[in-house]
Chains A and B, each alone.
Chain A
């Protein structure tokens, strides 16, 4: 295997671990105090209170399970898609409050690592999104290549059967 390919594979594995750990950590921080997270969500003024409460109770567990999936390579493609979708929603919410000039705590990593500097928050979330996006396109390419190769081997089997050769 070429050194370049090895390095990229190593980077890919490291990024799965890093991003998985990040979501696991963020989820655990929020799970410890869902009441506070509900207030943080409500500060965005995008959801009614009850919907915010449901989100505060549910989303951190999705983050924890999806983060664990990335690390443990269990249902990884599904977890990757879920986290990409979550990041899209987070970015949208953050951009919405930034535009409206609201001065709120992000709540992204609970209150321990909280900041309301939108430029930093937006840049951080974009970076995470880009990392997930890169992993997604690698996984996508790999999936297509696998499907093509399994399709090719199937057609070889069929033509061998047609010719009557083993």
Chain B
């Protein structure tokens, strides 16, 4: 006799728990439960501000950049990558540390831009860092 659909659904849900738990504990790309912990290649704002000879990159949209950005930051996003990369490459020195930021903790464009800078510009991995918390953490720090 076939099982009722609700029982079948519960069987599937229970079976899915096992690989999910294995991924949670041993998966190579498992997410971090603690959001405040730094991921590989990230830097906190306090440390970023202390970094000498750093060059800042704004990976948000042009509209957001035009509205407000970290003083001295260059615009470099994936939407206008080719044209903006040329402009950035002309002002960048290989010994400079690049700090990339996007909107917030949850955006991913800064990580994508950092990866592409390493790949396409040949920047060293240790010298391309992503600002933890992005633009919002900067704004938060400016508040009295």
Contacts and interface: CB of A to CB of B under 8 A. Distances in A.
Interface of A: 31-40, 42-43, 45, 49-50, 53, 56-58, 61-62, 64-66, 69, 75-82, 103, 105
30 contacts: A34-B27, A34-B31, A35-B29, A37-B31, A38-B31, A39-B108, A43-B106, A43-B107, A45-B106, A49-B35, A50-B33, A53-B32, A57-B20, A58-B17, A61-B16, A61-B17, A61-B20, A61-B23, A62-B13, A62-B16, A69-B8, A75-B12, A77-B5, A77-B8, A78-B6, A78-B10, A78-B12, A79-B9, A82-B9, A103-B61
Interface of B: 3, 5-13, 15-17, 19-21, 23-24, 27, 29-33, 35, 61, 105-108
B16 A75 contact: no
A150 B6 CA distance: 21
Contact of A39 (B5, B13, B106): B106
Given A57-B23, A61-B16, A65-B15, A35 B5 contact: no
A78 B9 contact: yes
Nearest to A107: B108
A62 to B, nearest CB: 4
Given A39-B106, A43-B107, A81-B5, A65 B12 contact: yes
Contacts of A103: 61
Contacts of A38: 31
Contacts, number: 87
Helix, strand, loop or mixed for chain B's interface?
A: helix
Contact of B33 (A53, A75, A81): A53
Contacts of B33: 50, 53
A53 to B, nearest CB: 5
A26 B29 CA distance: 17
B8 A78 contact: yes
Contacts of A33: 29
Given A36-B108, A75-B9, A82-B9, 19 more contacts: A34-B27, A35-B30, A36-B29, A43-B108, A57-B24, A57-B30, A65-B12, A65-B15, A69-B12, A75-B3, A76-B8, A77-B5, A77-B8, A78-B3, A78-B7, A78-B8, A79-B9, A82-B12, A103-B61
Nearest to B6: A78
B23 to A, nearest CB: 5
B8 A79 contact: yes
Contacts of A50: 33
